[in-house]
Amino acid sequence: MKKLLIVSEPLTDKSKTYLLSLLDVMMMEHGRVRVGFAEVVDPKVKPDLVLCLGAAAVQEHIDPRARIRDARTLTYKKDGLRYRATFLPSMVMKDSRLESYFYQDIEEVFNELSGTV
């Protein structure tokens, strides 16, 4: 079972539990995906990939100078974790031009987790 940690804001205290979302992503046969959800995550749980939603998360976890439009096309490795980035869903709802990029990013994340990239 693959674990995807989704962050949309900076962590307040990295030594405590993550007050974030963790998706347990299990790739099933025929392309079906089963998703489990947990509000509070033990920091000892190491995700297979961290998906940063929005500029604040990108600048906190990837690079303080990073721009979301540039960061979203790459996979970053830092502190033993892999990071990807995309736009905040609320930004996509406000600007429909971002929708195709957002869905492309999510598809790439699932492909990376399933090992098809």
We report the CATH number of the domain holding residue 35 as 3.40.470.10
- Which pLDDT value is given to residue 40? 56
What is the predicted pLDDT for the residue at 10? 58
* Whole-structure pTM value: 0.76
- Note down pLDDT in tens along the chain; length 117 residues: 677 777 776 555 554 444 445 555 544 444 555 555 555 566 677 788 888 888 888 888 889 999 998 999 999 998 888 999 999 888 999 999 999 999 999 989 988 888 765
Q: How many domains does the chain have?
A: 1
Q: How far apart are CA 108 and CA 117, in angstroms?
A: 8
Provide the domain limits for residue 90.
Answer: 2-114
For 97-106, b/e burial (b = at least 16 CB within 10 A) is: ebeebbeebe
Distance between CA 35 and CA 92 in Å, rounded? Answer: 22
Task: Please tell me the predicted confidence (pLDDT) of residue 111.
Answer: 87
C-alpha–C-alpha distance, residues 62 and 104, integer Å:
20
What does the alpha-carbon distance between residue 12 and residue 2 come to, in Å, rounded to a whole number? 25
pLDDT at 4: 77
